[in-house]
Amino acid sequence: MNASHSTKKVLFIGQQPETVDFSDPALPPGFDAAKIHAGIASGMAQMAERGWQADLCLVRPDASAVIAIQQQLGSVDYDAVVIGGGIRIPPKSLMLFEQIVNAVHRAAPAVAIAFNTTPQDTAEAAARWFQ
């Protein structure tokens, strides 16, 4: 395989489902870790079906998130990073969202950054940057 981007590489960053505060009114009622895991599996499968190398980076809502992202971005040259709606949407996650966006920007300044609305539209979010 040559150095051209014959296979797109996507990093999907999300919050570890077990660390989500499901009492947050910003989240849909009845949402739980199992539903998030199922959505993530669906999103990862859709990217694999497109022939992409998709990696998952689930982070905790604390300072370890930035470290995990920097380590992951230091090991692979990604074409796109998709940051999950579970980090972007709840108002109480604003600081974590900012830290993650800046960690991605610092570690991989040329990578496209995309945002999904649910784990199931992660492939669509990345594909917008592959047109």
- Residue 18 is predicted with a pLDDT of 94
Residue 41, pLDDT score: 96
Nearest to 123 by CA among 8, 28, 34: 8
Q: Which domains does the chain have, with CATH numbers?
A: 9-127 (3.40.50)
Residue 24 has what pLDDT? Answer: 86
Contacts of 44 (CB under 8 A, 6+ apart): 12, 54, 56, 122
Task: State both tokens at 14.
Answer: 């999300």
Residues whose CB falls within 8 Å of the CB of residue 47, separated by 6 or more in sequence, listed in order: 10, 12, 54, 122, 123, 126
**CA distance linking residue 82 with residue 122, whole number of Å:** 7
pTM, two decimals, is 0.91
pLDDT string in tens for the chain (131-residue length): 334 447 999 999 999 999 998 888 888 888 899 999 999 999 999 999 999 999 999 999 999 999 999 999 999 999 999 999 889 988 999 999 999 999 999 999 999 999 999 899 999 999 999 97
Structure token pair of residue 64: 């370890």
Distance, in Å, from the CA atom of 122 to the CA atom of 127, rounded to the nearest integer, reads 9
Question: Residue 1 has what pLDDT?
Answer: 35
